[in-house]
Structure 1
């Protein structure tokens, strides 16, 4: 018997990957965990009979000789598969887009750093030239869009966009996809969203806006992941961590979302026993491990620790800096810039920064005699500087806001470097100069 299964609290990427797996493994049956996300449950209520899938309690474990696992690489996230964990005679295939190393020792695996596991299946389906029905294409497109935030999450790759195009070419229905990706909110979800906004704890960590909330739940509430997505957009935070507390079950469920690759919430949730990817993650933590308050502080501490390890302005700045005294003529400055192939020169006297001259300033010269005027007559005096321990993002924000291309780096009142637009582009996009 061959079976294909995925993680508990199954999302559309997990469901779609199981369904796609039945095309690549035609002798296998899909096994969908009992616990699935609300929109997945809604979909299965009307579409389950269209696919070759069963529930975990229907599996005869003694007959299983091949296990295909999709969208996770951890045994603890599977539903009722413990009996297969230590079976040496089972062939295990693993398909997963999450970058974290789990404890599943697969016979064969396809793990790649893309936005969704669906993308990996599209890659193989295209290679084998297997045709897709409009229904399967639609389910796969929903999974792809959900896991990549409609192709906007930082982990999204070009291949994800090509996969989406392939699924649309095979008849994926965007109207159906939109319905299951954007279900209407009920009054309970609205109340939770309003409560989250009222008790928002927003803070700046290395120029990134982070929000960490603790919300007490009474009873079971669906669509929490969708509420957290909406919440991050409303408060305009780079990353949010919402700790949903269930006193009755003595546990907390953390749902995290990030819009920047500098904060990998999947890695953070992995440390708490959960999982995910850079843009989305979740974990369930028992009170016996961490109380909600301790859990919140642990999340904050982890972010602060991780942010200390990212690049600083001092890592990307240009140095040594070309400087000239204020008596230098514009002709001499122009010659220096031409010889060194630079676009700006700082004017310094006794280690004090007085101003800057850039190529644009030479357009101010209207008469020949002005070439022999001192640089202090043409330099810009009202300068903005930045500290060496600031984040590159801060430098980019200043340049955009003030429309400048050169940002002197000052430490203890002394110029130690300069950040240019080229430095920023090199850092963010690896556009190295030729």
Structure 2
């Protein structure tokens, strides 16, 4: 028995790969050993035959495989995984990798990486072989490669690229091959080891497998049986079976191979209804539910096939379908059933959800949490159709277990309707499904994978790609401070969303599971920042010396005392903090703590919605609790070119029918409108709001037509033109667009709407005064074909810039030119003479100075004076009281 290797504390680095290691795996371990010279190479649990034989003859001096059981696992400080990132393929070492005290490095060419595998450093690239990745690092570090090592690495490269013929082969792989030849790789060894890879016999046998394959449907399950015959035993025949499965992908396969007077049966099953080990037990075979084999003497292939078919008919169980699991008859309610009535039914029957039925068809599902929340908001007399889920999967009575599982778990449904000929015939609840699984453990095997799609992955490389280095350093420092405080800290919200969309956004919000203010104060001391704290909400704003700011909040949940109210908040967990957000795409988080820096957390399917380009609320009463989310939904839809989901659209329409926007404070509506006007294309958002009847809900006088669409287009063009002047003068873009939106409204309608928005009285009075002036100017200028520059100047010089830009958008192209000249030339013109010059001419200061200077300016704007002498003559005329116009 080998002695266990012991080293004090955690001090060992081990290099490992996947079980059933191939040449790329073995060669990658040797390459990694050169990068980590102190490391121990762990012997894979199994190796391919050719790999096994090669290892026995390996001539690399320092190369030694050590079995995992010979190492004290508590001494491992670092695991280097090569050619693999899956925990399921590294055996007992998986438990070591999961230990947060162990550092994990990964080098692999298989994408995507396993999101469940912890990782502190990784290089994962879509090249043909992992050897290519490691070889590049060795070359960059100037590490020499011996001929024996080069030969092994070339074997790995040759195998995984199919002799450089696979589609996955890259330029880097070819360059790596050339370099290995320079290092002394022996092509004769490679040729000898791979000479069986593409033999004519292999191709012929594989062709026979395809040609002889027949599909038999037994109780609805497709079973493929194929036969092949050869006079001699073929080592690694299972490799050919593997090739067949890769190409044909049969759910159940039996291969009958006649070799050396015996019939070898190789069986594979992906279905819980077909236990191949149980079937081949009759042939004295063995294996497990999904894979088994047997060797039979004294029978012909036809006799074996006949016996096998009879066994299959006896052994294969009728697969369970939705009809077998569903509950029926179904207790349902109508769309007009009130929330109060629905609650009584849910309580009486101890249900968690009810189907909503109209004319025998399922039109929605109402759940207990939605009913409870509606009751909390005093909506007991509202019909359930206002809040029911309208996007949900349905099943046919013959739906398989996998389809049932996907409907319940992937779609997070409490119940799934079973429908036949458009009529509801039953429902399957989570309880029904779980009860079946508990009494039928084999359903966990084969094709029924109960794990949801992984929603956790590391985005460290994306952070490094998209963020400046000093921001990355700052986030790591924050993660370290949080770790030392015993907190978890996450970047959340729009920053994470835009990172995954590859859009620039450095507006970073952080959420702390702990005390956000304490973390902010610690950060302030370390980086000499300024902070503003808000004790009531547990939040802080950190402003760095360079002006960069971070918003830090304590993880919190919130509740609304009535529809449209401002939320009340209390401390909570990250998941509950994210659940209170508006849409799934804004409910993502990235962990910043050192051991899991870059870990993406997605509790609500945000990655799916980003991929499908969908805006979706997190819960059915989202618009009841915050109606301004209606405006936000449309804004995000148009900004990103997404679609609002059907369910979310239904909820918007129901919220509008309840007039919930009227119950929201005007300041919050104005805030959302300002956000809309601040977007790149506000016209598209306003048009969509009009389509959904949201504009009317804001105010009955608001509308959207061709003339207003044209005005918005002109405003956009005017603002773009003004930006290109690079003037120091600033304007409020949102107010220009507000003027545009209100353009067709009467004064009393504008007053009513501004009152809705809670504009202060003084601001409303100024708005009306300047709007009237603009309308008067527009009316006068429409009648003019030409105008004096002085008239333009004197007319608008006292009008706020936002109103002038609005006026410019309303004018025809020819008259826009007047304001264009005003901004680029006229408004900067000044008389040559000054007050001092007038004194020098013998005039005494007084009101006459203002009159003279104004007349000089008008004359200069209109081109009546050009020189200083002209201006002096004009002054004399003014003093004489002569008419100089």
Name the TM-score, length of structure 1 as normaliser: 0.50
- Larger Rg computed on CA atoms: 2
* Greater percentage in helix: 2
Greater relative contact order (Cα < 8 A, sep 6+): 1
Name the TM-score, length of structure 2 as normaliser: 0.25
